[in-house]
Structure 1
Amino acid sequence: MKKKLFIAGDSTAAQKSGEAKPETGWGEKISCFLSSDIEVRNYAQNGRSTKSFIAEKRLDQISNEIGPGDFLLVQFGHNDQKIDLPIGTMPYGDYQENLARFVEVARANNAFPVLVTSVTRRDNLPDGRLNPETLGDYPAAMIALGEKLAVPTLDVYRLTQDYYEKMGMEETKKLHLHLAPGQHPNYPVVVTDNTHFNDYGAYQIARIIIAAIRETEHPLSEYVR
């Protein structure tokens, strides 16, 4: 029987509908790096935080499907950051408490939880540097929780910050949904989206995540091709 890889997260990981293309979530590309012995079930959804994902019973759905030896990747932060909205959470408060619930669900079903810090935004400061604080305390809060609960935690925020800095701000446009008017039939006007990815960008982010999994020698690395 195939093992299953569940993804819980926000729009940066989510499967996109046809009318949203060429916007692409990294969760759509992760199977490119995995063997056919594992099935990817992507539960990530646009606009969700840890709070709203749980409130909408999406974690319950995962709990009903996940089983022994399966995997659960958890990436939230972008929308938890919106503390002025009902979906927002505090990094060292309900954000960590909610993340712990994802870990509990995986472990209760004898599955392997993996925490994944949020991918960076393409957010440059007035002097042109990439903003190192674009996700605030959320990456550090997730890492701290991972250490407390002894859960493998991939610091994808740091890895993508490093990747963007090496590319340079102009080159990183190639990763994101930047479209001229009429360039794609789904977007008749100009699009400058520095959070969400195009097909190429989603592939590169998935590659970074898989490389991090391989380096940790996590059981999921057995399925990396």
Structure 2
Amino acid sequence: MNKTNKWIYFFLVVLASCTAAKVLSDEKKPTFYIIGDSTVRNGDGSGRNNQMGWGSFIANYFDTTKIDVQNLAVGGRSSRTFITEGRWDKIMATLKAGDYVIMQFGHNDGGALDDTARARGTIRGIGEESKEIYNPIMKKQEVVHTYGWYMRKYINDAKSKGAIPIVCSPIPRNQWKDGKVIRSTDSYSKWAREVAQAEGVHFIDLNELVSQRYEAMGADNVKPFFPVDHTHTNKEGAQLNAEIVVAALKQIKPKGLSKYLNKQ
């Protein structure tokens, strides 16, 4: 082997070693998975209505050289359809010990179980009730469970992989009464809290925390966050909600997460 070939060989060995080290490093790097509906991920802010969800801004608060942040929420999904469409199975295929899964569902769970437009509703509550229906979207029989049943599945599946689940109650809609934001304290926020407590996992009451911030700002100042309807925030509203999520994460301190958050 001549001198030139030796240098080429040396370079290739070093390059292969660096590549292998990066692959190994990426495999060990934890992932912060975000799952939910359109209030969590809804476009990129460049569309006509500037709509975005809070999950799109979470990565800004993390050192992404140390942790991957994947916002896999999808507009229009309920706690049920995120599973039945196979989206949760894809996450489970890569989920590993030390990962995190933060979840927020509820906005789309109140619909009909078997309507021809969406067929995304869940049975109200957190019990073990179920109902078999014909799903006109999937064109097959399906057993539909309660909202709590699906949330428990996410939690227990994540635990089975050694991942850390974090449950959020749904962000509030821009609906007010007597100067106060209307909460969902008798439905999805309540049920999200109850499931999290029963399963012994972290809970962030976004419904309450965001409502408090909105009330401090006043209805007139909050209104621009909702350019189309009372549910979907624009970029500025999503950024505010992301800030609230991260502040809550710093307070509840899920195992090991603090070392991945930027110092701010």
Question: If the TM-score is normalised by the length of the shorter chain, which range does it land in?
Answer: 0.7 to 0.9
Does 2:95 correspond to 1:66?
yes
Of residues 136, 143, 160, the one that matches 2:193 is 143
Separation of aligned partners in 2, 1:132 and 1:104: 27
Measured in 1, the distance between the counterparts of 2:48 and 2:56 equals: 13
Q: Report if the CA contact (8 A) 2:78-2:121 is conserved.
A: yes
In 2, Cα distance between equivalents of 1:136 and 1:29: 29
List structure 1 runs of 4+ shifted beyond 3 angstroms.
17-21
With normalisation by structure 2, the TM-score equals 0.74
Shift of 1:218: 1.5
In structure 2, how many angstroms separate the alpha carbons of the residues matched to 1:21 and 1:172?
Answer: 16
- Structure showing greater radius of gyration is 2
The counterpart of 2:180, out of the listed 125, 129, 133, is 129
Question: Judging changes above 3 Å, is the alpha-carbon distance between structure 1 residues 159 and 153 closer, same or farther for their aligned structure 2 residues?
Answer: same
8 Å CA contact 2:172, 2:182 repeated in 1:
no
Instruction: Tell me the alpha carbon deviations over residues 132-167 of structure 1, each in whole angstroms, 9 at most, x when there is no partner.
Output: 34x741111111111111011111111011111111
How far does residue 117 in structure 1 lie from its aligned partner after superposition?
0.7
Matches within 5 A, 1:1-225: 1=25, 2-16=29-43, 18-19=46-47, 22-36=50-64, 37-83=66-112, 85=115, 86-89=119-122, 90-93=124-127, 94-125=146-177, 127-133=178-184, 136-176=186-226, 178=227, 192-219=228-255, 220-225=257-262
Residue aligned with 1:88, SS: coil
Task: List alignment gaps of at least 5 residues for structure 2.
Answer: 1-24, 128-145
| Post-superposition offset of 1:13 | 0.6
* Aligned counterparts of 2:147 and 2:80: Cα–Cα separation in 1: 8
Structure ranking higher on relative contact order (CA contacts 8 Å, 6+ apart): 1
Tell me how many residue pairs correspond in the alignment: 209
Are 1:15 and 1:42, in contact at CA under 8 Å, matched by a contact in 2? Answer: no
After superposition, what is the alpha-carbon deviation per residue over 1:23-45, rounded to whole angstroms, capped at 9, x for unaligned? 11111101111112211111111
Residue 113 of structure 1 and its aligned partner are, at CA, apart by 0.6
1:3–1:39: 8 Å Cα contact kept in structure 2?
A: yes
What secondary structure, in the 3-state scheme, does the structure 2 residue paired with 1:153 have?
A: strand
The corresponding residue for 2:11 is: none
Give the distance between the partners of 2:181 and 2:94, measured in 1 at CA. Answer: 39
For the residue of structure 2 that corresponds to 1:72, the secondary structure is strand
TM-score (norm 1): 0.86
How far apart, in 2, do the equivalents of 1:154 and 1:221 lie? 16
What is the root-mean-square deviation of aligned Cα atoms in Å? Answer: 1.8
Provide Cα deviations, 1:78-135, integer angstroms capped at 9, x if missing partner: 001224653112133410100011012211111111001111111123x4532234x7
In structure 1, stretches of 5+ residues that fail to align are: 179-191
Give yes or no for contact 1:15–1:27 (8 Å, CA) kept in 2.
no
- Structure 2 counterpart SS, 1:41: strand
